[in-house]
Amino acid sequence: MRVKQLAVNRFEVVGVMDGDACPAELFLLEGEKATEANRLGLTQILATVAERGLDGVPSAWVHEANKSEKIYEFIKGPLRLFFFKGKNGQIVVCTSGVRKSGQKADKAAVKRSARWREEYYTALENDALTTVDNDEA
């Protein structure tokens, strides 16, 4: 499994790679003009998490999307960026993002995130996790 660096400071924030693409990165870079400021805000949240860790950010920025699957979401306006907690300095592993449309977390995004979480920890156990930076991917 490959993950891509999205923000690096004291901690590392990464996104899962799906083939040659990083769905979290694509979500942050592409989208409606109306959500551009919110996407920029999510990018700033990731930079802050890389600098301070999850304990150093306001609780309004983070929500537990699914307790049993250990999936969380960053919140900025109507946008949600799903993630799980990583290991070895990779404090956050981002999976994908959605525009919130209802009261509950997007079930398909949570399910996809849970699958990637399982793959991430299996790859860690098997020493098969590769981290790429912006120049490599």
pTM of the prediction? Answer: 0.94
Compute the mean pLDDT over every residue in the chain, rounded to the nearest whole number.
94
pLDDT in tens, 51-102: 999 999 999 999 999 999 999 999 999 999 999 999 988 999 999 999 988 7
- Strand pairing report for 90-99 and 12-16: parallel
pLDDT on residue 136: 63
Q: Which residues contact 46 (CB under 8 A, 6 or more apart)?
A: 6, 7, 13, 74, 92, 94
DSSP string across the chain: -EEEEEEESSSEEEEE-BTTB-HHHHHHHSS-GGGHHHHHHHHHHHHHHHHH-GGGS-GGGEEEEETTTTEEEEEETTEEEEEEE-STTEEEEEEEEEE--SSS--HHHHHHHHHHHHHHHHHHHTT--EEE-TTT-
